[in-house]
Amino acid sequence: MYAAGSIAAKQEYVICLYIRLSIEDDDVSGNPFKKESGSITTQRALLYDYIKNRKEFDGCKVIEKCDDGFSGTHFDNRPKFTEMIELAKKGKVNCIIVKDFSRFGRDYVELGNYLEQLFPFMGVRFISVNDNYDSAELADGTTGGLDVAFKNLIYDYYSREMSKKQRIAWQRMAEQGQYNSNCALYGYRKSEEDKHKLVIEPEEAAVVKEIFDMKIAGTGTTLIAKALNDRGIPCPSELYRSRGDTRQWKNRGKPCYWTAGKIEAIIRDEKYTGTMVQLKTKLDSVGGKQVSRPKEEWVRVENTHEPVITYPQYIRAVSSLKQQKAAESRKMKNIYYCGCCGRALFNAHYGTIFCKQRSFKTDSDCRDIEINKHDADMAVLASVKREAEIFLDHDKLSRQAIKRNSPLSVSDRINATMRSIEAAQKSWIALYDKYADGKLEREFFLNEKKQYDADMEKMEEELAALRQAQEEEETEQQGPERKANQAMAFLEEEELTEDMKEKLIEKVIVYPGDRIEIVWKFEGRLNN
């Protein structure tokens, strides 16, 4: 009777080498145009050496499946892994070799199912080189299920710890305004000096500007996409692929074109204003799915890179997009209400809005509630612009008052303190040189050192407090600056937009004689 090892030696094997590297690997993210990660090459060499050194595999057919840039916490979203399992199910592969268990997968429960149930049922031999695991040797007792389970548990813990550290690193990078993506934002390229900084790519940036200009002019996203496709301008994924990017695109191998969705994604991306906005999504669990974060959890850092468009242009384009969406869904917000009964006014097809209550009761006070919608919109728009001008004047006066009352800014005080620290350090070096040369008594030197340490501690505390104050000041200024930019964008509009209705207007009450009253969402009220 043959031993298990002897039987394995006489068997004809079709070997599949499975190689995987996670997308978080620096070699991948640092060079998107590289054909494969360095670690992939290392894994391949190790596995082929393993086969070469075992006579039982002489002459065996060897195939290779490689997932470069895929997480190991999931089994069903790796294309090459899925292909390998399908081959095993069809009997076209009867031996799978990996570098270690973590390359096959980091979910220890799922990995155990494969090793203990699926592979034995299919007659597939499984080898993990670095773990000294060979399923053909289990009958000899050289490896055991407990050992495998323990290692898998360690891999799972490692995966969770790495995920936690990765999230912390991404949070810090986002707070510092560093760009963190494998691929540069369309319209930009990564700086050669710093891969986390964006630099304008002139030709692409011109396309981005054109997209915003067309949207501000009222052109629909579908028509914008058609215009770019008709001119043969490659969409982002097609452009990256033409440059040699080998990542796993969704429609890899098929031509890609501009679509309304791609145009909308560009218009909604605030990064084109020079503000880095990141961490819009998060994983719902380790190895889970990406879910949207609340807006207040997004990380925004202004002036991190050269803008392609101004913030007012961004606001106007997004506003135009919202209007398009509202028109498409036929759910444009109705802001007009009857001043007599309080009901929403009816928008007639001939451009007049009126209260339908008069249709049900002839002697109703509502019979006089009727106004031309275009005239009402223009009156409301004029009021919005007046409020915007008032805000901008007030904002300007506030900034001037702050400047007058603060002759020395926090930034100036920080620079002055740093100069004082630098001067003190130079004086200390000169004093120490004198002491080292024997020109000062030890007692005098120690007294001076004690005073120097106290002064330095005081200045460093002051510097830390000033930097904290600077951060708080910048945070306080960001809100008014965004509001000022929003107000400037409103001044440039020629019609009442959905964005204005959403952000400024609670409702507009219409009274007899074409008199209207605007109820603002902010504190205050304006009568017309």
Domain boundaries, the chain: 4-173, 176-246+253-325
SS3 per residue for 310-363: CHHHHHHHHHHHHHHHHHHHCCCCCCEEECCCCCECEECCCCEEECCHHHHCCC
pTM: 0.43
94 touches 88 (CB < 8 A): yes
Q: How far apart are CA 77 and CA 79, in angstroms?
A: 6
Looking up tokens 């191998």 gives 253
Sign of CA pseudo-dihedral 203, 207, 212, 218: positive
pLDDT in tens, 105-145: 877 677 778 888 889 888 999 999 988 888 887 755 444 55
CA dihedral 465, 466, 470, 476 (to 10 degrees): 60
The pLDDT, as a whole number, for residue 146 is 47
Q: Do domains 4-173 and 176-246+253-325 have the same CATH topology?
A: no
Residue 333: per-residue pLDDT: 75
- Decide if 309 contacts 208 (C-beta within 8 A): yes
pLDDT at 328: 62
Pair type for strands 352-354 and 346-347 = antiparallel
Q: Per the CATH hierarchy, to which homologous superfamily does domain 4-173 belong?
A: Resolvase, N-terminal catalytic domain (3.40.50.1390)
Round to whole Å and give the CA distance between 526 and 528. Answer: 7
Q: Which stretches of the chain drop beneath a pLDDT of 70?
A: 1-10, 23-38, 72-73, 108, 139-166, 244-254, 283-289, 326-332, 348-350, 358-364, 397-409, 472-482, 523-528
pLDDT digits (tens, 9 = 90+) for 458-516: 888 888 888 777 776 665 555 566 677 777 777 878 888 877 888 888 899 999 888 89
Give me the count of residues in the chain: 528
CATH superfamily for domain 176-246+253-325: Putative Large Serine Recombinase; Chain B, Domain 2 (3.90.1750.20)
Position 510 scores a pLDDT of: 92
Residue 366: the pLDDT is 82
Q: Which pLDDT score is estimated for 391?
A: 82
Tokens read off for 234: 């490659």
> Is there a contact between 490 and 501 (Cβ–Cβ < 8 Å)?
no
pLDDT of residue 36: 45
